[in-house]
Amino acid sequence: MRIYVETYGCWLAKADADLLLQRLGGARANSPQDADLILLYTCAVREDGEVRQLRRIEQLSAVGKKLVVAGCLAKARPYTIKRAAPAAELIYPEQVEGGGERSMNVLPQYNGSLIYTVPLQVGCLGNCTFCVTKYTRGGAGYVRSAPPDLVVEHVKRAVAQGAREIYLTGQDVITYGFDARWKGGWNLPDLLERILREVEGEYRIRIGMSEPWVFGRFADHILDIVKRDRRVYRYFHLPVQSGSDEVLRRMGRRYTVDEYRDLIHKIKRELNDDVFVATDVIVGFPGETEEDFWMTVKLVEELQFDKVHVARFSPRPFTEAAVMDKQVPDVEKKRRSKIVSEIALRIAHLRNGMRVGRSDVVLVDEVDHGLVVGRANDYRQVVVKRGDGRGIVGEFLNVRIAGASPIYLYGEMV
Ligand code: SF4
């Protein structure tokens, strides 16, 4: 069966769409018109994203092929989707494997691309007041993890078949193995050790988004592995969300600004600041005062993040924050997100500039019209100047960093 797949949202959504494609037993079609079935994997995190996806669902429904709408928005907005596409079949995140609940005993097969994305777990230990994902995928202590043996076996096969980047992802990847109480090898650092020990070959591992209050529990072990083995990207994505303890309390986040600050300082100290730290910030959360907002700005300036994903608060269905008092006007959210984004970009440029003159080994992940782009050892993007303009996706290149912009490093072949 020829299936046209369109995915919105996180890498876990992309991995789930691959799993569904496998279960439906299809081959990818390049366009809705060429397909027997259209699979739209959706995301519920943001209001503006919801509007875009509903419009797309109407468009795809008009193509006249069988339409499957899967994922978080299918679960959060089933009636709204059915109004837009009455004939659509809905598949919720927990039904991706075919049953009523995820067993995590099935992983997507490697599809021949550079990156093999492994959905290690679903669920989380948080209960954040703004988050719809805890409703669509489970949260507040619900965690399901893929068995370590299954993960290692799939990674081994993928690397043998050509994968050069292993992306370990999930809803909150650091909670991996909580359902086995993190014992018997069921935790992220032990799994990393096993993969590095048992999977031979040239590849890189990227660790997905981790909630800071859980990451702290495994930080020493993970930092030790990263120091020892250059196959693990020196890259951490640790959402802070706000620089104000009062706002963190209203968000239901389980750390203070000081605890978060200590974690980031530890990571940078242990890795001699040879690391890429990304974070998420929400501006305009209900009750966020001007003073709270500037606390967030100050924290971004102090901790010098390499990347800040800035989101304007967006009230989501079934969340406490959607009905909280002191909602911030949209025009004010816009002003605040512009300020943080500009400061974050300036800092990113500074941080990239500090890499000029260094040597690095770059994994090529894109070759386009003679432009060779790849990832440095801390996952920074590097545009590599090659006299011959040739480049092979999956190749490792020795490069000297000669220049920097807020987004890219510019490298010359050594
Ligand atoms: S934001 Fe909070 S509730 Fe949502 S997935 Fe992350 S930890 Fe869980």
For ligand 1, whether the C-beta of 212 sits within 6 Å is no
- The tokens describing 153, both together, are 């076996």
Torsion of CA 117, 123, 128, 132, to 10 degrees: 80
Ligand 1: nearest atom to the Cα of 131: 4
Q: What angle do CA 24, 27, 28 make, to 5 degrees?
A: 110
Q: Which residues contact 409 (CB under 8 A, 6 or more apart)?
A: 352, 355, 356, 376, 380, 381, 382, 383, 401, 403
What is the distance between the alpha carbons of residues 132 and 137, in angstroms, rounded to a whole number? 9
Separation of CA 247 from chain center: 23
Q: Helix %, strand %, coil % for the chain, to 5?
A: 40, 25, 35
- The tokens describing 41, both together, are 């994997």
DSSP string, 332-354: HHHHHHHHHHHHHHHHHHHHHHT
Ligand 1: nearest atom to the Cα of 253: 2
The secondary structure element, H or E, covering residue 30 is none
For ligand 1, whether the C-beta of 311 sits within 6 Å is no
What is the distance between the alpha carbons of residues 92 and 73, in angstroms, rounded to a whole number? 8
Contact 383, 411 (CB under 8 A): yes
- State residue 390's pLDDT score: 65
Please list the pLDDT of the chain residue by residue as tens digits (414 residues): 899 999 999 999 999 999 999 998 889 999 999 999 999 999 999 999 999 999 999 999 999 999 999 999 999 999 999 999 999 999 999 999 998 999 999 999 999 999 999 999 999 999 999 999 999 998 889 999 999 999 999 999 999 999 999 999 999 999 999 999 999 999 999 999 999 999 999 999 999 999 999 999 999 999 999 999 999 999 999 999 999 999 999 999 999 999 999 999 999 999 999 999 999 999 999 999 999 999 999 999 999 999 999 999 999 999 999 999 999 999 999 999 999 999 999 999 999 999 999 999 999 999 877 789 999 999 999 999 876 656 788 999 999 999 999 999 999 988
The secondary structure element, H or E, covering residue 414 is none
- The tokens describing 398, both together, are 């020795």
How far is the centre of ligand 1, averaged over its atoms, from the C-alpha of 47 (Å)? 17
For ligand 1, whether the C-beta of 134 sits within 6 Å is yes
Q: Spell out a b/e string for 226-262, using b for 16 or more CB atoms within 10 Å of the CB, else e.
A: beeeebbbbbbbbbbbbbbbebbebbbbebebeebbe
For ligand 1, whether the C-beta of 124 sits within 6 Å is yes
For ligand 1, whether the C-beta of 26 sits within 6 Å is no
Question: Nearest CA to 85 among 32, 133, 25?
Answer: 32
The helix/strand/coil state of 156 is helix
For ligand 1, whether the C-beta of 172 sits within 6 Å is yes
For ligand 1, whether the C-beta of 231 sits within 6 Å is no
How far is the centre of ligand 1, averaged over its atoms, from the C-alpha of 320 (Å)? 13
Question: Nearest CA to 262 among 328, 202, 212, 311?
Answer: 212
How far is the centre of ligand 1, averaged over its atoms, from the C-alpha of 238 (Å)? 12
- State residue 37's pLDDT score: 96
For ligand 1, whether the C-beta of 131 sits within 6 Å is yes
DSSP string, 201-228: SS-EEEE----HHHHHHHHHHHHHHHHH
Q: Which conformational region is residue 287 in: left (phi greater than 0), alpha (psi within -120 to 50 degrees), or beta?
A: left
Domains and CATH numbers, the chain: 2-95 (3.40.50.12160), 115-353 (3.80.30.20), 359-413 (2.40.50.140)
HSE-CB for 61 with a 13 A CA cutoff: 17
Specify the pTM: 0.95
**Residue 206: beta bridge partners?**
167
For ligand 1, whether the C-beta of 248 sits within 6 Å is no
Residue with CA at minimum distance from ligand 1 atom 8: 126
Question: Nearest CA to 88 among 64, 69, 70, 60?
Answer: 69
What is the distance between the alpha carbons of residues 414 and 411, in angstroms, rounded to a whole number? 9
How far is the centre of ligand 1, averaged over its atoms, from the C-alpha of 124 (Å)? 6
Ligand 1: nearest atom to the Cα of 252: 2
* Best of 11, 75, 169, 211 for a ligand 1 pocket test (most atoms within 8 Å of beta carbon): 211
How far is the centre of ligand 1, averaged over its atoms, from the C-alpha of 172 (Å)? 7
